[in-house]
Structure 1
Amino acid sequence: MSDVLAIAEHRRGALRDVSYELLSAGAELAEETGGELHVAVLGGRIEEFTRSLSKGDVDVIHTVTDGEEFNHDVYTQVVGQLVEELDPSVLLVPNSVNGQDYGPAIANRLDRPLVSDVTDASFDGETLSATRQMYGSKVETTVEVEADRVAVMIRGGEWPGANDSSDPEIREFDADIDESAVRSTVKGFEEVGGGDVDISEAEVLVSVGRGIEEEENIALVEELADALGATLSASRPIVDSGWLEKNRQVGQSGKTVTPEIYIAIGISGAVQHVAGMKGSETIVAINTDPNAPIFDIADYGIVDDLFDVVPALIEEFE
């Protein structure tokens, strides 16, 4: 076996959390393959990103100056050339919107088996065992791939982000971009669902579920979020009802979040919702049902009526 190559991800001038999670996942796999952990960062604020990615057990960082934002045609060319030159055992890509765009294309082009939406992975000899969740995270499966070269796409929020500083070797990669094959141009960026809130970047989230009962009651939870300096988010029923915008939704069909504090108010804890927030550092749950699944993963639980608890919390924090 040989090295692991992880592709960092950035958006609008900032590295995304999944980039640091890639370092942790990549370090585990590199230790098992007996190789080095290589990380590539394409475009953007190269020097700043390089410093930020010098963490954990990274051995080499490859920098590519092409492009400020993600472009499918550029990424498929550059990452493909990197993989051909380094010939890593594992190509590690985020299971993000961008990763789902270029990851399968590269795996197909280089004839590598691809395992997507992976929540855990390990090697036993030359067999990759990858854990995936199916049917809305109701079923957990293990996929075994017997191949000496694979591509793996990891789900965000499943690995801790690497923190310890390291001193990796920095190598500039001079990609040979065929401009005639670049058929798309990035004109700008617009957050899906409207608004300017990115709940995936929030340090504290106050999340509301169907227990709020009526749309006008959401103002109560908003008041708590304001008192905490937190960001308001929601479970799917709230968004489906049109009470909050799609960009506020946490869960399998929404966003994966990993805040320092996640306060779940009136949320039962369906598997689809838990899949999007279980990586939170501290989880606080407020629910009248002591048997609600959310309490199985909560660090702190309050079994009481949210209409009694939330006003008391607002008074305390104000």
Structure 2
Amino acid sequence: MTVLTVAEHRGGRLREVSRAAQTAGLELAEATDDPVHTAAVGGDAERFAEQLARDGVDVVHTVAEGEAFTHDIATRALTQLVGALDARVVLAPNSATGLAYAPALAARLDWPIVTDAVELDAADGLTVAREGDGTVTRFAVDSGRAVVTLRPGEWRPAEATGDAEIRSFAADIDDGAVRSRVTGSETLGDRDLTEADVVVAVGRGIGAEANLDVVFDLAEAIDATVAAASPPVKLGWLPAERQVGQSGVTVAPDVYLAIGISGATQHLAGMRESDTTVAINSDPTAPIFDVADYGIVADFADVVPALVAAFDS
């Protein structure tokens, strides 16, 4: 049987989470000596196949090439590829894209799904671990078959040492069964949190939606992506796709700057893997300081504009 990883590409660029998924697949297959295949779905998939082929997997498949990527097309194409390969595990990034098709793929295959995995083990059957609230929960998959989405930052891309075979997989996509299609695209800015090297995240402590202006000024000055804890999203200040935490996305940037964030457990679960955390909060007892590498106890309005001015100069 086969371990299948799914690559993501966007805007003409292969996402690093794709190569990290290959690393996870290779680690999982070590215990079972299964082959590892990677699927690049839709768009200009062939363009990225050679890069994916260098990361140690056995075969790279270009799937539904030329089709604009939608969850409908990905689900149908991957279902067919899984059947053709007799794959036992599908590994996808725990990203907005991955979470758009992975549940539907699991339903079509009648397999269980485990999201936001931090550890995989196949030494004695398939076991998948998730982490949250300071605990690690391990799930034993009795059937040995599952769709698993992988938390960003838990696996790193492998060294480019391989030379995998590249194959084109001709998926049978019925136009009548596709319910959504891409009719155009528009650049919306810096919303790709899982790929960001620097994240500036805000909480209720910034006081008002109008204060986001200076936060975006800071993000622009340091080439960062803006994110949020749960309260600003619930208040409608920022869209849900910017939320970090158990009910949002998990990030692992080089630098995570938390502004006005108290540090609720569900938020910390989404950013603990950050290399360096800097916290700005007026409350010296805020839990965010327990995980911060650097802390500034001050009102954000006294600090952030000064940072913007310093970086601009």
TM-score class normalised by the smaller sequence = 0.7 to 0.9
The farther-off stretch of 251-260 and 263-272 is 251-260
Decide which of 130, 141, 155 is 2:137's aligned counterpart: 141
Secondary structure of residue in 2 paired with 1:316: helix
The question of whether the paired residues in 2 share the 8 Å contact of 1:210 and 1:238 is answered with yes
The yes-or-no answer on 1:179 pairing with 2:174 is yes
C-alpha offsets along residues 197-242 of structure 1, whole Å, 9 cap, x if unaligned? 4142433222222222234443443343343233333222223333
Change (3 A) 1:140 1:183: same
C-alpha offsets along residues 27-82 of structure 1, whole Å, 9 cap, x if unaligned? 22112222232111122222331233245432321222434322344333432232
> What 5-or-longer segments of structure 1 have no aligned partner?
none
The question of whether the paired residues in 2 share the 8 Å contact of 1:55 and 1:162 is answered with no
Shift of 1:177: 0.8
Decide which of 126, 145, 152 is 1:150's aligned counterpart: 145
Change (3 A) 1:110 1:63: same
Secondary structure of residue in 1 paired with 2:26: helix
Matched ranges for 1:28-177 at <5 A: 28-125=27-124, 127-132=125-130, 140-147=136-143, 149-177=144-172
Aligned residue in 2 for 1:207 = 201
Aligned residue in 2 for 1:221 = 215
The question of whether the paired residues in 1 share the 8 Å contact of 2:62 and 2:166 is answered with yes
**Equivalences, count:** 311
Matched ranges for 1:276-315 at <5 A: 276-315=270-309
Decide which of 260, 266, 273 is 1:266's aligned counterpart: 260
Shift of 1:250: 2.9
Shift of 1:247: 4.5
> What 5-or-longer segments of structure 2 have no aligned partner?
none
Q: Distance in 1 between matches of 2:4 and 2:238?
A: 39
Q: Distance in 2 between matches of 1:153 and 1:234?
A: 26
Q: Distance in 1 between matches of 2:101 and 2:207?
A: 42
Change (3 A) 1:56 1:293: farther
Shift of 1:166: 2.8
Secondary structure of residue in 2 paired with 1:243: coil
Change (3 A) 1:183 1:78: closer
Q: Distance in 2 between matches of 1:141 and 1:231?
A: 30
The yes-or-no answer on 1:19 pairing with 2:15 is no
Shift of 1:142: 1.9
Change (3 A) 1:11 1:293: same
Q: Distance in 1 between matches of 2:196 and 2:261?
A: 19
Change (3 A) 1:228 1:9: closer
Q: Distance in 1 between matches of 2:111 and 2:300?
A: 51
Structure 1 letter corresponding to 2:147: V
Shift of 1:285: 1.6
TM-score by length of 1: 0.81
Change (3 A) 1:74 1:249: closer
Change (3 A) 1:268 1:36: same
Q: Distance in 2 between matches of 1:161 and 1:48?
A: 22
Q: Distance in 2 between matches of 1:307 and 1:25?
A: 43
The question of whether the paired residues in 2 share the 8 Å contact of 1:7 and 1:92 is answered with yes
Structure 2 letter corresponding to 1:128: L
Shift of 1:162: 0.3
Shift of 1:133: 5.2
Structure 1 letter corresponding to 2:280: I
